[in-house]
Structure 1
Amino acid sequence: MGVVFSKSLFTKQAILTLALAIVLSLVSSGIQFVDGVRSQKTEINQDFKELLTVVEKPLSEAVFRLDTAFAQQQIDSLLFNPSIAHVEVRDESGELFVEATATKRHFSVSNSLANYFLSDLQDYSRELRLETPIFQAGRLLILPEKRFLLDKIFKEHLASLIYNLFKDVLLASLISLVFYFLVTHPLMRLTESLSTVGYKKELPLPKSFYRHHKSDELGDLHSTFARLWKKLNTALSDLERSDSHTKAMIEHAADGILLLDENNQIILVNTAAERMLKMSAEELKSSSLETLHTSSSWLPFLNSLSAVEVNSPLTVETIYLIRDVELPVEIRLAKYKVLDRTEVLLLIRDVSERKETEAHIHHLAYYDSVTNLPNRQYLADKLNETFKRKQQKLTLSYSAVVFMDLDRFKTINDSLGHNVGDQLLCCVASQLSSLTEENVVFARMGGDEFAFLLTYIGDDKDKVEKAIKGFVESIMYACQQVKKAGHHEVHITASLGATIFDGNEGSAEAILKQADTALYRAKESGRNTFALYKPEMQAVSDARLDMEKALHHATEFKLFELYYQPQTNDKNELIGAEALIRWKDEKKGFISPAEFIPVAEEIGLIVEIGHWVLNEALSQVATWLKEGKWQLSWRMSINVSPIQFQQAGFLPMLKAQLEKHDVPASCVDLEITENMLLNDLSSCLKKMNAIKALGVHLSIDDFGTGYSSLKYLKSLPIDRLKIDQSFVRDLLTDKSDEAIVHAVIAMAKALNISVLAEGVETLPHYNRLREIDCFYYQGYYFGHPLPPEEFIAAFVHDSATLKPSL
């Protein structure tokens, strides 16, 4: 077949058509032959049965009379039939009576072939018997000559096979000839015309081609080629124009351009590169890249050049050596393939001015303009670097930060002038810089405050403390020396505070705070002294102590109160409210729950506060129910702290409160946070099912801000998800928040859980939530949290319809 398909289209078609015709003819003849064999077998069986019938009676009488001569005469006559190979007669006892075998003959088929095609053609036998007198004479057996029969069948079908084969071959030849004139010849003419057409010329073909093939596939093929040729001419013109543009852009580019071949040899140079590198194009093409680099910059650049991948540009900076002058450059490396060749484009930019500017900016950013010392930012960066190395256990030694403040500097500055003050600062900086060693960073923090970072001191803390004290004493001594500022001799002293750290202090900011605390302690001690930070210097803050004391007092005397914020649906109908705790301190005024609730949890007051909230909210609902101001379909949402929820007595307490106030459980909606479920999901699930069994509703508060998990969400017996206000607030401006809200609503809908959006503050927020199928809301747009009486007056009406708070 490989030979066939390597020929011309006409040859392939002709050969395949002829082969197909022969195969089909042979298959058809084979089917006819098989069918003929089947019908011939039927005729042969019939002929042999008739022959048996003819000779049955004479042979029966011969056996009865024991006339072997007559019987032999009868069976010999049967052998005149060439389809019989052997005949024998046996008497009633099975003994051979007479037999005859046909003479040996030659046939065109073999025994095996005859047995294969005539395998179901068996021997023919007939019982020999007389009717008068009744006598069982024996048996007649005739063996057919299968080779003769099959040879006869073959001869009968050979003529049909030859006729069919000739007819099919003739038909295939005619089809091939028609194909040649209809397809091959016109296609050859079309191919010849395409091979002779020139650039920007039409496709030449005789008019007869258009006349005969205007509406057929060849006409379409010609039209398609014509359109493609037109497009190709246009593309070639565009390519020529683009090539001219490319050459112009390369030649007039401000950056230097070098093009390298696969061996990193320069093959193209633009004018900007010649000017920048001060070499002609011929000189550059005959030079290697290495000659352009300094000895230290070549290997890093070569590694970058080797590492750049096709269609993955890489920007590197390196140093060129141009006539013994170093030139910092930025090179954009771009590797690409053109046909079977790989080339690398180098876009070279002189960055010497930028480097100078960066150095200047860096100096301005990290150095003090008055003393030329490193500034606060520089020290902070170095401290962070040192602290991270200690956290990564790259070094186990101790380090230290020393803060220094000049005593009475403000007095000197105000009395002698800022100019003298600046000169004094420069004098101090110059004098103390001489005392610093390689592992010490000396910086001006601002004003008259300086700092020292001693990066590596030692691994023995006692020796480190002694070293710090010795260092500080040398600083204090140097500061006490007379300073000359302008025409003035100035006497100053310094207060210093230091902290030693090993990476376990939490953060670099904490270290700075410790040093500042030690400095403040030194200044409190009378100035011109030194204090080393000790943990006891930073005890629990007064503010925290005040908060804890006030919180205990408020819990003991029930100084809290509950405010209620309405919850509504998309029809502006009230569906319930959320009970929110408020605490108004006598001195500080209202304190946000975000400030005192975490403290209450830490000091163990949250359970007592939560009990009070539940009791107060249920008492209020009971009162409103009696007064007809609360509907049974409304829910009172009450937040439950994770600590309170996990208490063993929470469920009995809840039952007791419901019974005490006689409030229907369906009016209560307990809000829990999703993070609470992380500790013990099975225990929480058991308790939640028990709460649901009471008829109390359950909601997940601030959904989406914790460790949301579909795995537990689908198994929890919850009624509602409350989308956290942080997502709702930026719903209109942040696509990510909008996507999260969409996802929560869709997920809740699939799980048959209602959704309430918190923090709905404007009409656009409300309208957008309605559009995305969120139908329950809470936020300032509908109303602020209010005390009980004001809540009823503002939001509860006969129609229970909410008027938005504009």
Structure 2
Amino acid sequence: MGVVLSKSLFIKQAVLTLALAIVLSLVSSGIQFIDGIRYQKQQIDQDFDELLAVVEKPLSEAVFRLDVTFAQHQIDSLLLSSSIAHVEVRDEAGVLFVQATAEKRRFSVSHSLADYFLPDLQNYKRELRLERPVFQAGSLLVLPEKRYLLDRIFKEQLSILIYNLFKDVLLASLISLLFYFLVTHPLKRLTESLSTVGYNEKLSLPKSFYRRHKSDELGHLHSTFSLLWNKLNTALSDLERSDSHTKAMIEHAADGILLLDENNKITLVNTAAEFMLKMESETLKSLSLETLHASSSWGVFSEALNSLQIDAPRTVETLYQIQNIELPVEIRLAKYKIQDKIEVLMLIRDVSERKETEAHIHYLAYYDSVTHLPNRQYLADKLREALQRKQPVPSSSAVVFMDLDRFKTINDSLGHNVGDQLLCCVASQLSSLIDDNIIFARMGGDEFAFLLTNLGDNKEQVELVINRFAESIMFACQQVKKAGHHEVHITASLGATIFEGSECSEEIILKQADTALYRAKECGRNTFALYKKEMQAVSDARLEMEKALHHATEFKLFELYYQPQTNHKDELIGAEALIRWKDDKKGFISPAEFIPVAEEIGLIVEIGDWVLNEALSQVAIWLREGKWQVSWRISINVSPIQFQQAGFLPMLKAQLQKHDVPACCVDLEITENMLLNDLSSSLEKMNAIKSLGVYLSIDDFGTGYSSLKYLKSLPIDRLKIDQSFVRDLLTDKSDEAIVHAVIAMAKALNIEVLAEGVETLSHYDRLREINCFCYQGYYFGHPLPADKFVAAFVHDSTTLKPDF
């Protein structure tokens, strides 16, 4: 029916009319059929009454005379009628006198169907009696043949049904044909006329159409369409004028205009944009937006463009690269939606002159808005002047960099307002120590700088002055400071470089001071370092390490190795996932070397997430391949910084679900020092991790500073004895005592113990003697890549057999 109703109007009307005619014909015939049955029942009763009346008297006389032959002849004659199935005659005592049954015949209807349609048709019984002499002769019983009677009714009604159906179908066809000529065909001609009419043309139809349909609905429909068409032509003319007007305004606009489609492809360029960008319109349309930008500005502009909301215009400043010249521009971005299409309008204005003015004003703005100290630019200018100044007698000068230790922690925990107040307090307190030949400036953030000039020409004396100055600054910083309602304790790290004359540029001097400051931080903070030439190599190596580490993190150049963990039965119980980094230039770099750098520059969280994802992915593969048992654990180290992240727990859940690895296969290793920062928060997170079914271990146990009293409240499954204690177990009684104590304490707390750094059979035997039953070390196997680990340590049995 759905296919039919999707056709033309004529087919829809014809099919529906025909269907309706058939349904009505069948309903009408059904009603006639029911009335026919009712009528036939009455006719049957009448026929049987007449038939019985004919044989009643002869049969009464035959019974009276006891003439069986004559009676039998009479009832046999009744069976000549196909409507009678059986006849019986009984005498006055009810004894069967004669009977007869019709021969078996086949009918098109069944007994059940006959009983259903003729339920009221009963057996016919007539009393036999003689009038003269008066004699009660007996009774006559006639059983009608219902199947024959119903079959006869069906045949009569079928002809009526066929006649009515033919008549109704013929009438429906005539109606459909009439509908076609009166409605469908004229409507089709009107539709064809509408589909072929051109812009600014009138609707034209044959004169016969106007003559026949002038006053009917089709005529009104044509008039309505003509009126709408005229209005549409008028609207199109207005739209063309509006479009021409818009194009004229775009072309004559003073600002450059670019129009972007939803894919940020340029679709429209005005003359001002061509002049500003020094390119033709077609050339610009073939370029991407990125090619117009300076490399340093594209990232910021791309983010602004991608985050732009519909009907929320914004202004962005960026740099265009025009014929090797950077052109600062101000762009007004507006995103809108027209007819389900999204477009972005860019109004571009050259602001190079304004930028030059702003740059000059900025150059004159020498003071920091928070501390009211001279800023970096001021210090740089004064340093430049000192280098350019010609002195009759050579004299040394120095630049001292100062950085407040752990200022970020104070800023994050107490708020930026308190941090700013602390900076002001430090600036005010240190300003009192400044002489006329010292310039004190805030370089930005929590970093300050001092420029000391005219210190003399005696190198040793100058170094002594610098050292005393640094000590006075550090002592002043150590004093309790008021920041709002808080009393804050803070220390400072200082680095200095001494220079004389103009043998160095200002950039080199500032870099040397920064290098010395970094060395001071490396030495434990709250200290001072004076720049030496050998520091630069360390600083350059550190910078190179940071760059290489960023590159390795971005392109995932790390690899996971796996070291087996065994028990005292030489059975494999798991493995530790260890990160390895092979640099193209330096080869393999120790995690002990690059992990602290990653923690300091903020890459450790990203690296830690990669390690967790990679390790779980590998375990999932081994589980599918049957190379890993659910009872084994994969040990994964978690950095304190990564563990303290708010998103660590959701990330862990997501990784477990992503790789479909049972939580019982995962053992997260944390360090004791992590508990020093925030024990309550760490404990809450550890309990949440345990609720997932993940195991927790304390790595390098015995080297940290956390109190042992907290150990009983921590949900820890395993302690890993640091390899430094295991390595000297056989030679150092103190180390042996520590190992004994750890094992005894863990046993009392029902915590498993695993010894790291087991390298010899002697270590292995001694650990078993003192009841340490889990091990890891070179004696059992070196860390290997995943495929080699499986080949070396995973066999048909779970037993790990090291080479003794």
Same fold (TM over 0.5): no
TM-score if structure 2 supplies the norm length? 0.45
TM-score if structure 1 supplies the norm length? 0.45
